[in-house]
Amino acid sequence: MRAFVITGPARAEVRSVPDPVPGPGEVVVDVERAGVCGTDMELFSADMAYLRSGHAAYPLRIGHEWCGVVTALGADVDPRWARLRVTGDTMLGCGTCDRCASGRAHLCADRYEIGLRRGWPGALAERLPVPAWALRELPHGVDATAGAMVEPGGNAVRAFQAADVAPGERLLVLGPGTIGLLVGLIARARGVEVHVLGATAASLRFARSLDLEYVWTAETLPGLRYDAVVDASNGEAMPGRALELVEPGRRVVFIGISKEPSNVDSRTVVFKDLTVVGILGASAGLDGAIDLYNTGDVDPRPLVAATVTLDDVAGILAGDRDPAWGDAPKIHVDPRR
């Protein structure tokens, strides 16, 4: 089969690789659609922390946002999975440690991450091996585009839940990228007043196109009460800004990851009596994202600017983007094209 492979910093190619064979408890999925995200770009540029820690190494088969059809079953897999449209969890814990046993498999020290960690091959390929326990069935109301947005949507669900805002309260989202916008759309669907802080004219213009009414720059942000702040940005100064902006006694949620270490003053946390929550991975939010998409409460499809081929991915990772695609933040790949 054909697969996209990063061979070294800023080097990649589409290769012919062996078809995956499902092991016990595994399935093989024919990939319909896969997303490219900022983490993939950092793996391509060699900026991603896993490359420094040894949790990832070249050559890399990336792609952790995906959907497809189950076409092969390993031993001990329930036959009901055959031919179902699915997506699945990226974080694959060992299943035996205390963290896995307590529902924290996404934090397992020995976990694999599809397309990211410890060499588990990713979804920028025609086919993908996945443990059956990690699968989520996609209902008919969730098409291929929305299906490949379940993983970022699951992250956004977790971030919104962690913010603990009620209908009529005010949420500030820092960073109008894919996850930040999804947080905003989920919050709006739940009756929360959503404000978005961004930096570029294009990102702010796109946020407004989603009918997110309150969109600001650092210079125009009003001095309102923000009942929670979600930092979905990659700016190292933004975590500290989030602590400054949030209402005392409320919550700040960190889901964005900056390239450089951010400075957070713990005195601000103490003197404002804040709850600060970090979010790693979509695992506990996947079912919620599927439900939001299936009911139509949130439509993630406008966030996808274009769907390209495997042969186009290297250019995308290098920052090449057709202006005709507009301002939407997400690029999808159809490995069958």
pLDDT, tens digit, for every residue of 282-304?
999 999 999 999 999 999 999 99
DSSP 108-159: -TT-EETTTBTT---SSBSEEEEEGGGEEEPPTTS-HHHHTTHHHHHHHHHH
Whether the per-residue pLDDT at 174 is higher than 90: the answer is: yes
Beta strands 330-333; 214-216: pairing state: unpaired
| Claim to verify: residue 132 and residue 83 sit in the same structural domain | yes
pLDDT, tens digit, for every residue of 184-239?
999 999 999 999 999 999 999 999 999 999 999 999 999 999 999 999 999 999 99
The pair phi, psi for residue 305, each rounded to 5°, is -80, -40
| Claim to verify: residue 175 and residue 229 sit in the same structural domain | yes
| Claim to verify: residue 259 and residue 166 sit in the same structural domain | yes
**What total of structural domains would you count in the chain?**
2
Where residue 187 sits, what CATH number does that domain have? Answer: 3.40.50.720
Q: Which two tokens stand for residue 11?
A: 């080097």
Q: Which two tokens stand for residue 87?
A: 């997506």
292 within a domain of the structure (yes/no): no
| Claim to verify: residue 228 and residue 135 sit in the same structural domain | no
Nearby residues of 66 by Cβ (< 8 Å), 6 or more positions away: 29, 31, 33, 34, 35, 87, 88, 114, 123, 128, 147, 148, 151
pLDDT, tens digit, for every residue of 50-98?
999 999 999 999 999 999 999 999 999 999 999 999 999 999 999 999 9
| Claim to verify: residue 159 and residue 173 sit in the same structural domain | yes
| Claim to verify: residue 48 and residue 143 sit in the same structural domain | yes
- The pLDDT value recorded for residue 259 is 82
pLDDT, tens digit, for every residue of 77-89?
999 999 999 999 9
What sign does the dihedral 39-40-44-45 (CA atoms) show?
negative
- The pLDDT value recorded for residue 296 is 98
327 within a domain of the structure (yes/no): yes
160 within a domain of the structure (yes/no): yes
- The pLDDT value recorded for residue 68 is 98
The pair phi, psi for residue 217, each rounded to 5°, is -105, 170
Residue-number span of the structural domain to which 258 is assigned: 152-278
| Claim to verify: residue 245 and residue 314 sit in the same structural domain | no
Please state whether the predicted TM-score (pTM) of the whole model is above 0.85: yes
The pair phi, psi for residue 301, each rounded to 5°, is -65, -35
| Claim to verify: residue 188 and residue 54 sit in the same structural domain | no
Q: Which of 323, 336, 334, 332 is nearest to 152 (CA)?
A: 332
Where residue 119 sits, what CATH number does that domain have? Answer: 3.90.180.10
226 within a domain of the structure (yes/no): yes
